[in-house]
């Protein structure tokens, strides 16, 4: 599934990203706490660190599935 919105510039460079439609619910950080962090004003989350292990990749993909606004993208195979 293609994510909704435009990629935020504050995401760490790499295949995973959060778009501007994020409402800051925090589900992504609950799924992958080592990879997501709240924005400076708390109204959105972004990818703080790209995954470094298979377990972190699985956690990131779990966050993608759990996101109610479908605003997490993965360009891994692009």
Work out the pLDDT band at 1, boundaries 50, 70, 90: low
Work out the pLDDT band at 78, boundaries 50, 70, 90: low
| 52-60 LR contacts (CB < 8 Å, sep 24+) | 56/32, 59/31, 59/32, 59/34, 59/35, 60/16, 60/31, 60/32, 60/35
The pLDDT of residue 3 is 83
Is 6 domain-assigned?
no
Residue ranges making up the domain that contains 38: 16-74
Q: What is the pLDDT of residues 28-52, one digit of tens each?
A: 999 999 999 999 999 999 999 999 9
Is 10 domain-assigned?
no
Q: Give me the CATH number covering residue 40.
A: 3.30.70.20
Is 68 domain-assigned?
yes
pTM of the model: 0.93
| 7-10 LR contacts (CB < 8 Å, sep 24+) | 7/73, 8/44, 8/46, 10/39, 10/46
Report the percentage of the chain scoring pLDDT > 70.
97
- Please give the tally of structural domains in the chain: 1
**In this structure, are strands 16-18 and 36-38 parallel, antiparallel, or unpaired?**
unpaired
The pLDDT of residue 52 is 97
């Amino acid at each position: 599934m293609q994510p909704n919105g435009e990629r935020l510039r504050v995401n760490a460079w790499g295949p995973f990203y959060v778009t501007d439609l994020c409402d800051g619910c925090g589900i992504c950080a609950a799924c992958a706490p080592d990879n997501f962090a709240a924005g400076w004003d708390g109204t959105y989350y972004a990818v703080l660190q790209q995954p470094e292990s298979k377990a972190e990749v699985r956690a990131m993909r779990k966050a993608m599935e759990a996101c109610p606004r479908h605003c997490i993208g993965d360009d891994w195979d692009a």
